[in-house]
Amino acid sequence: MGTRKKGSRRRYGRLWLVLLVAAPLMIAASGGSGWGWIETAGRWFNLAVLVGIIVYFLRAPLRQFLADRKRGIQENISSAGQALQEAEERLSTVKGQIEGLDDELAGMRQTTIEESELERQRLLERSQRDVDRLTRRAETEIQLLTRVARNEIRSHAADLAVGLARQRLSQELTAEEDARVVGRAVEHLDSRH
């Protein structure tokens, strides 16, 4: 601390020396009528003293201000660097999620394709079952209609045969013979069914 007090005493001593030298120059400057080189030099000297005093008294606050400003800028740079790093981490996370979404989307597409293929197979099988069922039903109906048609044809043929036989028999046979022939035909038809 002794060195510090000694340094400040020297500064104050210099300041007083400057003021003592400047005071006569200021007095001389105010009394003359024109500007001479001594007056100009005195004014420059006064300006230098004033600037020196201002610098002397403002140096410590100015240093403190600049140091604080430097520290603030460094903190801003540091926080900006951290923010940049966090943003890059988030970006890489988001990119990873996007890549994951691409994989998930591809999986969903594949699943959809597989499900569509399964549904198509189910529809084809159902359609084939329906076609088979309708075919069996149609065959059954055809067989039934065929039997009915055959029976109708047989019945009609029998009716025609009986009618022809009656006609012939009525022309050639008597009533007794007619009854006997009709009875045989009826027995013959009953035996077929």
Tell me if 35 is assigned to some domain.
yes
Between these two residues, 52 and 174, which has the higher pLDDT value? 52
Banded pLDDT at 116 (limits 50, 70, 90): very high
Question: Tokens at residue 192, please?
Answer: 């077929």
* pLDDT value at residue 97: 83
pLDDT > 90: percent of the chain? 31
Tell me if 111 is assigned to some domain.
no
Does the predicted model carry a pTM greater than 0.75? Answer: no
Cα–Cα dist 160/151, whole Å: 14
Please say which residue of 89, 105, 122 terminates a domain: 89
* pLDDT value at residue 28: 61
Tell me if 184 is assigned to some domain.
yes
Tell me if 118 is assigned to some domain.
no
Tell me if 67 is assigned to some domain.
yes
How many residues does the structure list for the chain? 193
CB distance 53 to 15 below 8 Å: yes
Between these two residues, 186 and 132, which has the higher pLDDT value? 132
Tell me if 126 is assigned to some domain.
no
| Same domain? 6 vs 78 | yes
Tell me if 153 is assigned to some domain.
yes
Assess whether pLDDT exceeds 70 at residue 5: no
Locus of tokens 């048609």: 149
Q: How many CB atoms lie within 10 A of CB 52?
A: 14
| Same domain? 7 vs 84 | yes
**b vs e for 137-162, b when ≥16 Cβ sit within 10 Å of the residue's Cβ?**
eeeeeeeeeeeeeeeeeeeeeeeeeb
**Which are the contacts of 173, defined by CB distance < 8 A and separation ≥ 6?**
181
Please say which residue of 58, 89, 120 terminates a domain: 89
Please say which residue of 66, 89, 112 terminates a domain: 89
**Number of domains into which the chain is organized:** 2
Lowest mean pLDDT among 44-48, 89-93, 117-121, 171-175: 171-175
Banded pLDDT at 191 (limits 50, 70, 90): confident
Banded pLDDT at 1 (limits 50, 70, 90): very low
By residue range, what is the domain housing residue 161? Answer: 142-192
pLDDT digits (tens, 9 = 90+) for 95-112: 888 887 878 888 889 999
Banded pLDDT at 156 (limits 50, 70, 90): confident
Tell me if 151 is assigned to some domain.
yes
| Same domain? 8 vs 83 | yes
Question: Tokens at residue 44, please?
Answer: 């420059």
